[in-house]
Amino acid sequence: MKPDRNGSCPCGSNKKFKHCCIGLHNERIRWDGLEDSLRNKIYEYWKEFYYDKYIDGALNIYGDKDIESCEDISKRRLFFDWFIHDYIIPDKRDTVIRLFLREYQDRFVDELERNTAIAWSNSLFRFFEILDIKKGVGYEVKDIFNEGKELFIYDKSSSEIVKKYDIQYIRPYPIGNITRIASGVILLSRVTYPLFETMY
């Protein structure tokens, strides 16, 4: 739900929403429909061509045969993300998302959808330290192993739970002129792991 233009900004700045994060919010939600549509297409492709034949072998490699019945949706998303991006289909010798890109060439709605699919296929899990948070919008992160490269991640749900100096293991990707997260997130919280507090 979009915050009230004249209400307080959810990021906690004590400014009105229209004078603070409304631009960030609008830029983030601009891409929701495209992402949802593309994610559904990839999911349907996966289920139709690869799920039944390869799910048992994939679960054995993943190491959690009960993941599909797990009530934790974040764990199921991580498995789906891994199966799509990282599991090599044995007789195809490639990942589901790269096979999707090849076989779906003439069915993309437009160039933006194609470019988003390519960005997803090229995205890699990396470790990021959270530097600053705009609650309800996103947060700034620093790539720990890439010369401290900084990004602003547009992710409303994560922005509500992360804390400064938490470590995230995420798969960022560009869409338009912003950066989003492709599916699952692993969070190493400074609260859960107090050792991290001694590192800063």
pLDDT tens by residue, 161-192: 899 999 999 999 988 778 998 877 888 887 66
User: Strand (E) positions, the chain?
Assistant: 88-89, 94-95, 126-134, 138-143, 150-154, 167-170, 172-175, 178-181, 186-188
194 vs 6: CA distance, rounded Å: 39
pLDDT tens by residue, 6-45: 888 888 788 888 888 888 878 777 888 888 888 899 999 9
With a pLDDT cut of 90, the percent of the chain lying above it is 34
Q: What is the pLDDT of residue 198?
A: 39
- For the chain, which domains are there? 32-122 (no CATH), 126-199 (2.40.50)
Tell me if 174 sits within 8 A of 117, measured CB to CB: no
141 vs 188: CA distance, rounded Å: 14
